A and B are shown apart, each in its own frame.
Chain A
């Protein structure tokens, strides 16, 4: 479905994507994770057959985007990071006009538009102005628009950024239904829970390179422990406590406000902590998440 080999994109001196390889079979839901500026959106634009690669190989639906851009794009649904709905047109007209860009018959487009508005729960907003829609509605309309050509592959660049939890869950539900119909999903996200919910497999990208690859469960197994114990002793005492707790669990991480101890069994380690005579102000045992993997791979410092 999608195969990238040593894919590179440079802008002048700056290397946005620095030789990445990945392969996505049809029907898979594949995620790109990474901090801001990691090269996710650039990769998405190359996969969308819009941005021209600097070097490397890229094959989408068995075709080279350099030669078959329109053909490839006729099979894609694209949900960009920033909505680019046509604000000069009403809600339903957005779908009608967009459908025509694919050369689809007017009748077919009109039928699909109505079905998609139903699917996106926007049927009663057909004649609304785009600017009058809420953020969640705009997002759903953008996704509806991306489906007007019955795409084989849907590209979603941070689909739920800026949405409230309700809107996110509706969206996830819709995306899951699409996946069940065999549509290949490629998505980027900052939200680790989203990646765990939606992705069969993902790559973690940083500075244009792939840091890790695998299913969410595998990545957690490989780069983190099963559970994490978080204890707090107060900002001034954490460092001293950490020295005394050395050797507990698989790995320990001292943060300004708390200490994280990665271990297969958090409760056991918590008992060991208490046995040393230290008394944490708060303690929390939780399952390891993709977020732990992400922070371990891409670091905790702020990237802007």
Chain B
């Protein structure tokens, strides 16, 4: 046994590996003899698929990640609507109805009033998880974005792939929620299913800027927790979710106007019970959400590119 074989054995024993001989064949292509021209053509061929489908490869990886916490995804998707619709819609709702009548809030019961807004809020809060810690983590704690970029994937594809995986989860969450709305009889209109895309869009509009900011964090000193506490939480309370925005004092109402959550909730109400709003206003709300989404998304592209390719 030669000296180097001896070292393999020692190494294996020390590391508890398989009792292999350290003589595995090399699983690589035989490259000796290829000209630079051959290698160059090999590269030009090799880049084609990642350029075209790279975004989907990233999304596939993120789906695998989501599979590792699939139980959380499923149970929060089911549990959240049940708990909120029961507590707010039925519990608090019976109190509201007792005082204001069954059609006391803009002509509908409290359950019907609050349900679409709860759906949108749930989408926003799931989005805030997936677009903050997941994004920062991929640069920092489990720096897979650098590994992806060392492979042929581009920063833009990485961000887009992550967003696709988020959209998938949001669609799942809002679909389940809409099912719960139907079960509770909280969506009288036939257009109620539109709350699914409305919830997804509102979540993206709300969270895209936060995603871009998360991508820029180099030193984590609890910024994301601060965002959750001082931005997401207050906006949930002041966005006309639990009561009409008009009932708040005038000086607090601008918070609602700026909040994507309010616009999303109002759109969802139009869908589930035909809240009386003009087409122009509806278009304006959608446009606002789309613009926020686009700005945050593009900003995130830039930050990712700067960070990965510095």
Contact = CB atoms under 8 A, between A and B. Distances in A.
Nearest to A171: B11
Contacts of A103: 46, 48-50, 53, 57, 152
B229 interface: no
Nearest to A85: B147
A40 B15 CA distance: 31
Contacts, number: 193
B10 A74 contact: no
A50 B20 CA distance: 36
Contacts of A72: 43, 47
Interface in A85-126: 85-89, 93, 97-98, 100-103, 112, 115-116, 118-119, 121-125
Contacts of A78: 150-151
Interface in A142-185: 147, 149-152, 164-167, 169-170, 173, 177-178, 180-183
Interface in A211-259: none
A84 interface: yes
Contact of A86 (B49, B51, B144, B309): B144
Given A50-B308, A88-B142, A166-B14, 11 more contacts: A76-B150, A80-B147, A86-B142, A89-B65, A101-B151, A102-B50, A103-B48, A103-B50, A119-B27, A167-B15, A169-B7
Interface of A: 1, 11, 26-27, 48, 50-52, 61-63, 68-76, 78, 80, 82, 84-89, 93, 97-98, 100-103, 112, 115-116, 118-119, 121-125, 134, 136-137, 147, 149-152, 164-167, 169-170, 173, 177-178, 180-183
Interface of B: 4, 7-8, 10-12, 14-15, 17-18, 20, 22, 24-34, 36-37, 39-40, 42-44, 46-51, 53-54, 57, 60-61, 64-65, 68, 142-144, 146-154, 308-310
18 contacts: A26-B36, A27-B31, A50-B150, A63-B40, A63-B43, A69-B154, A71-B43, A74-B46, A74-B151, A74-B152, A89-B65, A89-B68, A103-B48, A118-B27, A121-B17, A166-B11, A166-B14, A167-B15
